[in-house]
Structure 1
């Protein structure tokens, strides 16, 4: 056989390989790649805090400890610093720092980034402004109170001095204690010049011209390539025999490593190593491997759903998430009850899972695309049998995360293969490998029952939800106590069920589905629990409105009276349910809700409200969907989506719009187009031929309006997702009278509901 030409799998090669085979060879990558950006030494300039450094040439380098995965987080965080620093935006650069304990706990997810860093970085910027004004005033012969800062300069009358000149002169040495930073005075909102303004993200040019370094782009000298051989189940599989006799005929094939994993991450794993990835991939297909499959090989989606149904029908089962009022009233036999189901959904990030590991002196070095290095770091150290300080991780851009890279267990087989080979190894998963090792959004079952008073107000409201708990599986230290102190709770499996509607009596319980945990490692998919709890809550409220003969929008409005805990609290949820009512009013007007009776036959409009992932950080949103339903085929076409969002201050408006747009399209995709089910311990749909996210021809008109205010900025990565599916389901009911209680909504389910 003729030897295959050696080349490296990178993002550019991967994207090119998706196109026509006739032109792929024109896109093979060069052997050199852009270097991974390093943090400049802090002593090279002035750093009032560790979060940024101002250099003598005026350059301001902001250190960002969060992962960039398309959301332009570096630009957003740098903008917060620059606003309070009174920096010239053209002087600001962004550096994504490598993981290090000094940066604190490193995780990018939950729509937390801007919200959790806003005050920290605002104070850091304000500290720098204070220090520069003090030092600049001395150089200008003035009192600090007579000076101001603007565009990286300290100004006194018609005289000024630049930040760069102040640093070069060595005139600035001020440091700040933690207490001083907490007490520092920030600018009033009316003096902001950068936030809420239009500007381009700093990372766009590098992504366009190919300089940006993604996980799959990195290479080191002597690197080998590898692809895993996936076992028939995630848990419990054992290799009974294997042979690489046929694989040895593949040019470039080196050997197959049987993984012995102290962390128990890899159960029944082999990894094929070769001189390049195509050779490794071909050799995987030629291995002869016999397994004793784990017990989950007999489990499918039906068993997981059946267990969920069993759990939610236990009134006092699971753990108590929230309770108020006299819960004895919940047992009333005249309550209206409904059950909602969602099926398995995968993250499917475009950049395949990959990790490069090599031994460098006394350090193990890791390069990968990672949303949560603070979790990956100790896991890899445990697998390698070394102290955590002997493992160093590099940062890179992510070619999609969506929650799949919040627990990067795929680094473990790469590390153990590199250890076995004694050489650097880049492990790259195929799409089907990735899907088999999935961390899906769990199938869920949710039961809601309530009683209403004569005026339609909620006399009692009860929610019970069963799902796999991602935090229990991945980060058990982050579980919280149940409100009755009986057991633990994974808030990421239940948030969103604690809505902002008024109810005199409430009980919200969450159940962990152990059958699901036996089959897969549950993960966090964009929007996390709110992606399914809001589907249930907003579909239920819609059903209740129709049952009472009320307009669904006006009925929701009547339940948002800002009473008790629904009044909100500072700083994140100031205004409470009133702000949710405000976005509802705006979307009613913007969408033409009042004219929905004039729609053509088979068309309908539906509405849904959402408040982001958590009550402690709500992003208020209201969405109206207009759909057309083909009664003969059950096909649902979404014609228009209109959403109004109140996210407080928009640090990066262009990024905010992109986040909500992308989220809404993902919500549409999860509602109608994508999803899978487990069969024999693995997802049924492993690639994009049968796992079918929304296509371009199915994208409707999307209209988004942001509410302008000066409230605390909250999250935007996930809220766009959550209201779309219930709005579509409610629109289908308005169009046809067919009520759908299961996601995704397939044409055959619509036809079945039409029969009812």
Structure 2
């Protein structure tokens, strides 16, 4: 039985610029009568594929059929965040659509969609201006055609809930499509000039409506990548080499594996792209047979140079890089000579913060089904960044990118892991070698070993004050493995010293505080880069830069004897480069100050707490300075003096993400981000031993459990400013708020994530030893 979503092949998109701009996606807005274009898959409800009927297709982004159904093309990955519902709501609001008539179409790769990337909390922010104007233009064309059918002027008509009305008379969109003259066309300039609704006119945006992808999931109709099947396919499981890079297969002995019923053969992959060097694929008729046979196949490798790398090696190398003041790219975020100003400071604060590597552990392990059909390689999988991996696939398969198409499926958890499509390469290479369809599914252990982990990091911060306790100079150096360097090196930027750097390894360090002259250094841990494939994980750099920055701000406040809230507010003046700008960062630092005040008030900042309990604060602007989502957190914790166990009693979170498009989705995103931040603060992390991550399953890798979830109180600032991203920013304020609360409760400053009970006990023992030796 074939369980693929059937539709015609699209054309592959070559990899383009790193994360997209709104202009890149705002292509092909020709308006006029059109025959319905090629449909795409709709993983949420495969029975509702867009029918091929004559209809109104004024733009590549949507089509209205003769029955009045509105098929909206979603070029973003659905991985549980209800992105289709949010984006469709933008277009449907301007179109004055009946929400019950809206359907989602998850499209396959095709150049007409522009870059296909779902990450960095950019989807709503990027798509809002495109879909708003697409909907507005469609509404205008429908009103004009509807008015002609009603025999009135278009000025006498309004559109409302899928109908064009003129007084007591009305006509539905479906009938207009059947009978009307929909010849109106809009130039690019006319589209840009179209006025879109003001927030007071919204009918769907910001309102509670049903998420369109949920019914298919709850009924078991949803199709994920792991569900894809095609007649005649075989299964493959990889036998992974001892190192991520540099290993070479010397010999394969499958004698024992031949006893497994259904085992077929084992092959060493030849990968021109260098994505999966040293891989051996074990092939069988069934997946259970592939699993069993892989355990029995014996492979001899010549290991790569990182076979002995440990966590300590990575940290030591990072410290050495920071000590070299010439290392890395320099980002001057506040003009002046930092070293000279710091040398003149009367009070200096310095600290080093570290984080462990973090695995993704998404529910659906990575998988891919690949085969060649009519000269085109089809890759069936869930993926967040088709535009990143298509060029890699082309190099691996030695075919032009237009000879590859990626079919779209629902994703059972992405979190940045599926921004790296490396798992598509071995499936495709095996399909090419066998000249038949191959489905590869990784086990949980395989998935962990192959994971594009969030890099372990080392950061050193320095802040100098003058005699009046005013900051005069700040220096922040961060060392990490760089995802952009590993996967899309054309996305590297150039620092002020001419050295290239990964913007997603340092964002968040370019904060909105006034600290005098300021310098930031982004330094690549080249040893980490060789040892594993650094990846994006929910919040990416702000997940570690804000951990260091906000704990360090707390340290600095206490060092000069100021209240941590008052210290932050005094720095968020909104002057100079921190003033903010339209359209995305209106209000600048003042909006960060606002969420801080609001969350502090809600948490009762300054109130007395029992012994062993503490309240901590942290704030952030979220993902990127040019698309800020302002967040603040107050955390109340209790620390057990005997065991070192930290119990988080309550988290208060305040978020200003501009206009909220999808309230239910926004809250779900915020809750998920907060809980992930808590998980990485206290529970979640791995280290390296012998060139690999130590933890490969959930017996030793211990993310947050339900029993550890505290009371959450999440609030959103009501706003009509431009809508920003929500998938990641709240993650970044949780760990520093908890770290600062632990200090308030115990006087112990913990500077490594995750903070486990043994870390608290070790810090207490060191503090006691230091006190005993102090005269």
From 495, 502, 522, the counterpart of 1:482:
495
Q: 1:235 to 1:8 in 2, by over 3 A?
A: farther
Deviations 1:682-708 (A, max 9, x none): 000011100111001111001100011
From 131, 137, 143, the counterpart of 1:121:
131
Maintained 8 Å contact 1:37/1:96: no
Residue of structure 2 in register with 1:624 after alignment: 634
Q: 1:194 to 1:7 in 2, by over 3 A?
A: closer
Residue of structure 1 in register with 2:565 after alignment: 553
The two structures have a TM-score, normalised by structure 2, of: 0.91
Distance in 2 (CA, whole Å) between partners of 1:617 and 1:296 is: 38
From 222, 227, 231, the counterpart of 1:221:
231
From 654, 663, 680, the counterpart of 2:690:
680
Deviations 1:129-173 (A, max 9, x none): 111122222222222222211111112222222111111103222
Distance in 1 (CA, whole Å) between partners of 2:448 and 2:197 is: 48
Q: 1:683 to 1:410 in 2, by over 3 A?
A: same
Maintained 8 Å contact 1:489/1:510: yes
From 596, 600, 617, the counterpart of 2:610:
600
1:343 aligns with 2:356: yes
1:521 aligns with 2:533: yes
Residue of structure 2 in register with 1:589 after alignment: 601
1:250 aligns with 2:260: yes
Residue of structure 2 in register with 1:491 after alignment: 503
Q: 1:7 to 1:212 in 2, by over 3 A?
A: closer
Residue of structure 2 in register with 1:724 after alignment: 734
Residue of structure 1 in register with 2:580 after alignment: 568
Distance in 1 (CA, whole Å) between partners of 2:540 and 2:179 is: 51
Residue of structure 1 in register with 2:311 after alignment: 301
Residue of structure 2 in register with 1:658 after alignment: 668
Residue of structure 2 in register with 1:29 after alignment: none
Query: Shift in Å at residue 40 of structure 1?
Result: 3.7
Q: How do 1:180-199 residues align onto structure 2 when only pairs under 5 Å count?
A: 180-199=190-209
Query: Shift in Å at residue 741 of structure 1?
Result: 0.7
Residue of structure 2 in register with 1:443 after alignment: 456
- Local SS of the residue matching 1:335: strand
Of 404-413 and 168-177, more deviation after overlay is shown by: 168-177
Residue of structure 1 in register with 2:762 after alignment: 752
Distance in 1 (CA, whole Å) between partners of 2:446 and 2:54 is: 45
Residue of structure 1 in register with 2:718 after alignment: 708
Of 547-556 and 321-330, more deviation after overlay is shown by: 321-330
Number of aligned residue pairs: give it: 725
Query: Shift in Å at residue 607 of structure 1?
Result: 0.5
Distance in 2 (CA, whole Å) between partners of 1:649 and 1:517 is: 39
Distance in 2 (CA, whole Å) between partners of 1:170 and 1:567 is: 51
Distance in 2 (CA, whole Å) between partners of 1:38 and 1:311 is: 55
Gaps of 5+ in 2: 5-42, 768-775
Distance in 2 (CA, whole Å) between partners of 1:250 and 1:556 is: 64
Distance in 2 (CA, whole Å) between partners of 1:583 and 1:325 is: 28
- Local SS of the residue matching 1:81: helix
1:65 aligns with 2:65: no
Residue of structure 2 in register with 1:174 after alignment: 184
Distance in 1 (CA, whole Å) between partners of 2:54 and 2:734 is: 49
Distance in 2 (CA, whole Å) between partners of 1:507 and 1:376 is: 34
- Local SS of the residue matching 2:170: strand
Of 187-196 and 531-540, more deviation after overlay is shown by: 187-196
- Local SS of the residue matching 1:297: coil
Maintained 8 Å contact 2:44/2:223: yes
Query: Shift in Å at residue 266 of structure 1?
Result: 1.8
Query: Shift in Å at residue 504 of structure 1?
Result: 2.0
Residue of structure 1 in register with 2:14 after alignment: none
Q: How do 1:606-617 residues align onto structure 2 when only pairs under 5 Å count?
A: 606-617=616-627
Maintained 8 Å contact 2:57/2:63: yes
From 376, 396, 400, the counterpart of 1:387:
400
1:149 aligns with 2:174: no
Distance in 2 (CA, whole Å) between partners of 1:412 and 1:127 is: 41
Residue of structure 2 in register with 1:361 after alignment: 374
| Aligned-residue CA RMSD (Å) | 1.8
Deviations 1:546-578 (A, max 9, x none): 112211112111111111111111111111111
Gaps of 5+ in 1: 1-5, 10-32
1:543 aligns with 2:555: yes
Maintained 8 Å contact 1:603/1:627: yes
Distance in 1 (CA, whole Å) between partners of 2:411 and 2:76 is: 11
Residue of structure 2 in register with 1:13 after alignment: none
Query: Shift in Å at residue 541 of structure 1?
Result: 0.3
Residue of structure 1 in register with 2:40 after alignment: none
Maintained 8 Å contact 2:650/2:711: yes
Query: Shift in Å at residue 331 of structure 1?
Result: 3.8
- Local SS of the residue matching 1:691: coil
1:429 aligns with 2:429: no
Maintained 8 Å contact 2:44/2:216: no
The two structures have a TM-score, normalised by structure 1, of: 0.94
Query: Shift in Å at residue 287 of structure 1?
Result: 1.2
Maintained 8 Å contact 2:53/2:66: no
